[in-house]
Amino acid sequence: MPAASRPTLPPKTHPTVHAIASSWRRLTGGKAVRDADRRTLIGCSGGADSSALVLALAHQPASIVLAHIVHDMRPSSESAKCLAAAKRLADSLGLPFVSADVTPKAAGGNYEAAARTFRYAALERLAIENGCRHIATGHHAEDQLETILLRLLRGAGPKGFAAIRARRKLQSGLTIIRPMLSISRDQARALCAECNWQWSEDATNTDISHRRSALRATVLPQLLAIDTQAAHKAADAARLALLTADHLDNAARALAQSAATADLNTFDRAQLRAADRIILLTWLRSLDQQTPLRTLESVARAIRSMSGEVREWQLGPAAISINRGRVVVRST
């Protein structure tokens, strides 16, 4: 880790800076939008990845607000250290700084999922309060590879393998963007080092009781030793999976619309039967994302068969009834 604590601004021509800034502009509207109209809230943990994102975009101070979310995952002393690092980075670069506290532990259940929900809700609120249309995070190529591996362990399909999306619209009208998905962890750290920035290390990242941390500590080093470009190739694969997933989703929506009958929640079985198998499975998957593929395949086979036997399944909140000519889907 670099020894200095006050960063210097990297040149705009630095390859990593240029790549991140170009991605930021593309994700926030492209050439049709002025930089002044790309006002972006950057979620900064104080770590190397998000710090690199801040350093790369710091040439546009009027368009950047740095935000830090404090949550109850770590001891207060560690949280205070990361908060101080993020604020020091903002102050050193002359950037606006805002922060918020969240307490996901009180929500119970899956703590990691709750922490993510609370964190993004806080970032969204801070973005609105500070006139930002976009929220940027420092997810990079290795994060994408980790996510793909985690989705593989869950048995995900094309949508799951799309992993971390570079751009996602929120109901509020704001967008979450990830300008660093083509940048490696080493490139992010190298940029921080070249800018003499001493980032803060999050001790929870070394807790291998969590699947992601375990993959990061044990599996990724082996994959990168076999192929140093593994993370970048995973990022390319995720983009292809996203295109595939979007195409299948559009086709599944079109199938549902064409097969819909005058009777509410009822679909013409013949049209569903004639559909391509993967499109039919994609439509069934849209009814419940958690149902195992083997169950969806059983339902698809029943729909595509010529049997007139009445069959029924429960797909999460959806009850499906198949008779001779109709497929009825009702919420339970």
Chain centroid to CA 298: 31
pLDDT recorded at residue 112: 75
Q: Residue 294 to residues 288, 300, 315: CA-CA distances in angstroms?
A: 13, 10, 12
pLDDT recorded at residue 1: 43
Cross-strand pairs, 70: 101
Q: Is the dihedral of CA 102, 103, 108, 110 positive or negative?
A: positive
Where the chain has pLDDT below 70, the residues are 1-5, 108-109, 111, 203-207
End-to-end CA, the chain: 55
- What is the chain's alpha carbon radius of gyration, rounded to the nearest angstrom? 23
Q: Where are the domains of the chain?
A: 15-228, 260-331
pLDDT recorded at residue 324: 92
pLDDT recorded at residue 4: 46
Which of 199, 165, 174 has its CA nearest to residue 45?
199
Q: What is the DSSP letter of 11?
A: P
Residue 140 backbone phi and psi in degrees, to 5: -125, -170
Q: What share of the chain is helix, strand, coil (3-state, %, to 5)?
A: 55, 15, 30
DSSP characters for 30-67? GGGS-GGG--EEEE--SSHHHHHHHHHHTT-GGGEEEE
Query: What tens digit of pLDDT does each residue of 209-227 get?
Result: 778 889 998 999 999 999 9
pLDDT recorded at residue 159: 85
> What is the topology classification, in CATH, of domain 15-228?
Rossmann fold (3.40.50)
